[in-house]
Amino acid sequence: MSPSLARSAPSELNHWWSQLRFRLQNKKGWNEMLDETFLLHTKNINDIPLFYAAKKNSVGCIKKLLSCASTNIFERGALGETALHVAVMTDNLDAAVALMDGAPELINEPMTSELFQGVTPLHIAVVNQNINMVHHLISRGGDVATPRVTGLYFRKRIGGLIYYGEHILSFAACAGNEDIISMVIDGGASTRVQDYRGNTVLHILVLQPNKTIACQAIDLIMARDVELDQSVPLDMVPNYRGLTPFKLAAKEGNVVAFQHLVNKRRVVQWSLGPLTSNLYDLTEIDSWADNMSVLELIVGSHHKEARRILEVTPVRQLVSIKWNLYGKHYFRLLLLLYLLYIGTFTLCCAYRPLKDAPENYTQSEMDKTIRVQKTLQESYVTHEDNLRLAGEILSILGAFVILLLEIPDILRVGAKRYFGQTALGGPFHVILISYACLVVLLCVFRACEVQGEAVVMAVCLVLGWSNVMFFARGFEMLGPYVIMIQKIIFGDLTKFMWLSFIVLIGFSTSLWMVYMTQEPDSIPSYRSFPITLFSQFELSVGLIDLPVDHTIATPPIVHVLHCTFSVVSYILLLNLLIAMMSDTHWRVAQERDELWRTQVVATTLMLERKLPRCLWPRLGVCGLNYGLRERWYLRVEDRNDPMLQKMRRYVKAFSKDEEKEGLEKTDTRKGSISGSPRLRPKNNRRSLGGWHMIRHSAFGLEMEQEEPEEDQDIQYV
């Protein structure tokens, strides 16, 4: 277990135990428990006088109740809240001030229920962005550093609507009010606090849905943290999973936060009009010296949005340089070596040692065997046998090399992720490992003279040649189609096979009920139940004609069953499969470029791990050589033409107006009865010509014609 996981394990176990205990105590589902708790909370507010006065903002009633000896100022509601919590929840400033003056003990009093454990009035005030309320709470001694929210409702969970961390500063940062954030930090809150997952305030901001507010809060908190002069920057502090805010943004697919953090780290060299030369920090991005780099996280992420980060500068340029300089050539060399290897294995199988079958070898007239496998002593006698032996030794060594290369990756990544993700190779790793294991088994069969090696050889050949499709990811034309095949096989075809299996079992059993009383030789296709099942499968895919003999008496129910089976299986299910595959093809085609880039990154990372460092030098420039920090940088020239951006926005707005106008014209034509043609304005052709000029200029077509090699360094091949 890694040190980061070891640190987070106790808190995770405690969290799981709290959830389990909560479920066992309440005996109800989560949503049902929430509904009852909040309804009881509303009822208690109306029933408890001090709570009701706080809700109605009745300062006079509050003062009278506080002066009464029978009033319990620490009385709790269904959420474990006090009267001050109720006043702050309803934003009743006067009632809250009266409670703080009359009962100052309530200012730092947390909620006590398992759902809202640890929530103080200050937590609620900063989330509601009530600046006056926050000011009064802090000025009256509100603790901004110690309180931590540990209730189940505020934990990061599946289906949860909020995750604000535990501390008051993280609540204020997620609300996004800069005045409140500064007020909380000035009140003594630390910018380096971490929750039960080890997440800092920046981690929590990266996970927020409002990207703009999160980036503004990141800037403010990092600026305040710089004043403390810490040795490690706040954006480099990892959580218990070893992820910094930068890496977490990549893993979650938060493109806005990732781009924002990238721009904060870049060094601007010079600018010349729209052209700018920037040095981008490759720390945490490049996988050369980081086993958990941004590239690794993008490939292993389950979020589709993470693939869009591959288009962000400098990730796009880095991947392009790695692939074009080294990865592409090494991968195609690996393809050539594998083709030679599987070709050698195929020749060894094709020329396997056989001899003529001895007399009386077959005991059945249906057995037409004329050649059998040689013994081990007879297999390696001639020069051709020795040549085949060399190929067999090469095949065995290749199988062991495959196992030695694959097993460490399985242990490093995990079997579920390694075999389950398409970008990492997915089923091809299963095929390759199965092939290698069967080759080793084939060697054992040959050495022990076990009969039946032909079956193992046949499976090995199918698996070995099927794995050639893995190398299609090295070609942009073929890579997405291999992913399409995988999705069809494990998605559409799997569903189709389940439905077909149910239909086959039903109809095969019903037909066997009829033919089990007939002579077995009368209709061979239905002589036994297994043969009946196989015949129905062949019939469902159109491989055989309808096996009905009209020369003998056939029950009418057989014709009914055959007609029904043809409609359900051959017409309905088969066309449903075609429709599902068409939908899968369309969806994969929409993501063609993203899938191709993800495959390129996964392949590049695989080669980078396997090859020695001398064959794969580090890319970029070292900052120490040029007076910068001890980091590696990648220089990228960016062109940012503001006029071009304005014209693009204008074109987008103009196209929307045209679409709206076209829809209105279509509706008008549908509503008209006469259907008379409309005359086109005379200046329409001129306006269309101007429109084409604007569109060409806006999309940079003229610029591309003048500078065709401007973006050549970032093209994927």
Q: Which of 115-124, 462-471, 550-559 has the lowest mean pLDDT?
A: 550-559
Indicate the angle between helix axes 328-350 and 592-610, nearest 10 degrees: 80
**Section 419-444 average pLDDT:** 83
Q: Are 133 and 184 in contact (CB under 8 A)?
A: no
Q: What is the DSSP string of 481-493?
A: HHHHHHHIIIIII
Nearest CA among 252, 280, 323 for reference residue 597: 323
User: Residue 492 above 60 pLDDT?
Assistant: yes
Same domain, 498 and 440: no
Q: Which of 62-66, 424-428, 560-564, 690-694 has the lowest mean pLDDT?
A: 690-694
pLDDT in tens, 390-407: 999 999 999 999 999 888
User: Residue 250 above 80 pLDDT?
Assistant: yes
User: Domain residues for 663?
Assistant: 641-667+684-717
Strand order in the sheet with 267-272: 267-272, 275-281, 632-639, 621-622
Cα(167)–Cα(178) distance, integer angstroms: 16
Asked if the structure places residue 306 within a domain, the reply is: no
Instruction: Give the per-residue pLDDT at 695.
Output: 40
Contacts with 690 (C-beta within 8 Å, 6 or more apart), sequence order? none
Same domain, 520 and 648: no
Question: pLDDT class for 670, splitting at 50, 70, 90?
Answer: very low
Same domain, 101 and 15: yes
Terminus-to-terminus CA distance in the chain, angstroms? 40
Residue 693: is it exposed, middle or buried by C-beta count within 10 angstroms (0-12/13-18/19+)? exposed
Same domain, 43 and 180: yes
**Section 640-657 average pLDDT:** 55
Q: Determine how many CB atoms are found less than 10 A away from the CB of residue 90.
A: 17
SS3 144: coil
Higher pLDDT, 271 or 372: 271
Residue 170: is it exposed, middle or buried by C-beta count within 10 angstroms (0-12/13-18/19+)? buried
Asked if the structure places residue 678 within a domain, the reply is: no
Instruction: Give the per-residue pLDDT at 697.
Output: 40
Same domain, 464 and 498: no
**Section 82-111 average pLDDT:** 92
Asked if the structure places residue 630 within a domain, the reply is: no
pLDDT in tens, 40-52: 888 988 888 899 9
Cα(147)–Cα(120) distance, integer angstroms: 7
Half-sphere exposure of 75 (CA within 13 A, CB side): 17
Asked if the structure places residue 620 within a domain, the reply is: no
Q: Return the percentage of the chain with pLDDT > 90, whole number.
A: 26
CA 171 to chain centre: 27
The secondary element (H helix, E strand) that includes residue 334 is helix 328-350
Instruction: Give the per-residue pLDDT at 144.
Output: 92
Instruction: Give the per-residue pLDDT at 704.
Output: 38
Q: Are 235 and 272 in contact (CB under 8 A)?
A: no
Asked if the structure places residue 542 within a domain, the reply is: yes
Q: Can you give the CATH number for the domain in which 11 is found?
A: 1.25.40.20
Instruction: Give the per-residue pLDDT at 566.
Output: 82
Asked if the structure places residue 292 within a domain, the reply is: no
Contacts with 609 (C-beta within 8 Å, 6 or more apart), sequence order? 409
**Section 361-381 average pLDDT:** 75
The secondary element (H helix, E strand) that includes residue 621 is strand 621-622
Same domain, 433 and 536: no
Q: Which of 118-132, 330-344, 621-635 has the lowest mean pLDDT?
A: 621-635
Same domain, 66 and 179: yes
Asked if the structure places residue 280 within a domain, the reply is: no
**Section 106-128 average pLDDT:** 92
Question: pLDDT class for 452, splitting at 50, 70, 90?
Answer: confident
Instruction: Give the per-residue pLDDT at 172.
Output: 93
SS3 639: strand
Question: pLDDT class for 711, splitting at 50, 70, 90?
Answer: very low
Within 174-308, strands assigned E span 267-272, 275-281
- Do strands 621-622 and 371-373 pair parallel, antiparallel, or not at all (unpaired)? unpaired
**How many structural domains compose the chain?**
4
User: Residue 238 above 60 pLDDT?
Assistant: yes
Question: pLDDT class for 681, splitting at 50, 70, 90?
Answer: very low
Nearest CA among 553, 556, 577 for reference residue 503: 577
pLDDT in tens, 539-571: 877 766 777 766 677 778 887 888 888 888 878
Question: Tokens 């829809």 appear where?
Answer: 663
Cα(410)–Cα(402) distance, integer angstroms: 12
CA 225 to chain centre: 32
Evaluate if pTM is beyond 0.85. Answer: no
Of 202, 226, 242, the last residue of a domain is 242
Contacts with 401 (C-beta within 8 Å, 6 or more apart), sequence order? none
Asked if the structure places residue 90 within a domain, the reply is: yes
pLDDT in tens, 495-507: 888 888 888 888 8
Nearest CA among 408, 441, 577 for reference residue 496: 577
Q: Are 599 and 473 in contact (CB under 8 A)?
A: yes
Amino acid occupying residue 467: N
Cα(82)–Cα(195) distance, integer angstroms: 25
The secondary element (H helix, E strand) that includes residue 63 is helix 59-67
Amino acid occupying residue 181: I
Question: pLDDT class for 462, splitting at 50, 70, 90?
Answer: very high
Of 225, 242, 259, the last residue of a domain is 242
Q: Return the percentage of the chain with pLDDT > 70, whole number.
A: 82
Same domain, 76 and 121: yes
Same domain, 695 and 561: no
SS3 182: helix
Of 474, 504, 521, the last residue of a domain is 474
Q: Which of 268-272, 379-383, 668-672 has the lowest mean pLDDT?
A: 668-672
Amino acid occupying residue 486: Q
Same domain, 487 and 564: yes
Instruction: Give the per-residue pLDDT at 85.
Output: 93
Q: What is the DSSP string of 355-387?
A: EEPPTT---STT----EEEPPHHHHS-SHHHHH
Instruction: Give the per-residue pLDDT at 706.
Output: 39
Q: Which of 76-85, 336-345, 514-523 has the lowest mean pLDDT?
A: 514-523
Same domain, 184 and 53: yes
Cα(66)–Cα(78) distance, integer angstroms: 21
* Chain mean pLDDT for the chain: 81
Q: What is the DSSP string of 17-31?
A: HHHHHHHHHH-S-HH
Cα(55)–Cα(51) distance, integer angstroms: 6
pLDDT in tens, 688-706: 444 344 344 434 433 333 3
Cα(276)–Cα(510) distance, integer angstroms: 76
Same domain, 588 and 646: no
Cα(253)–Cα(2) distance, integer angstroms: 25
Half-sphere exposure of 488 (CA within 13 A, CB side): 19
Question: pLDDT class for 11, splitting at 50, 70, 90?
Answer: low
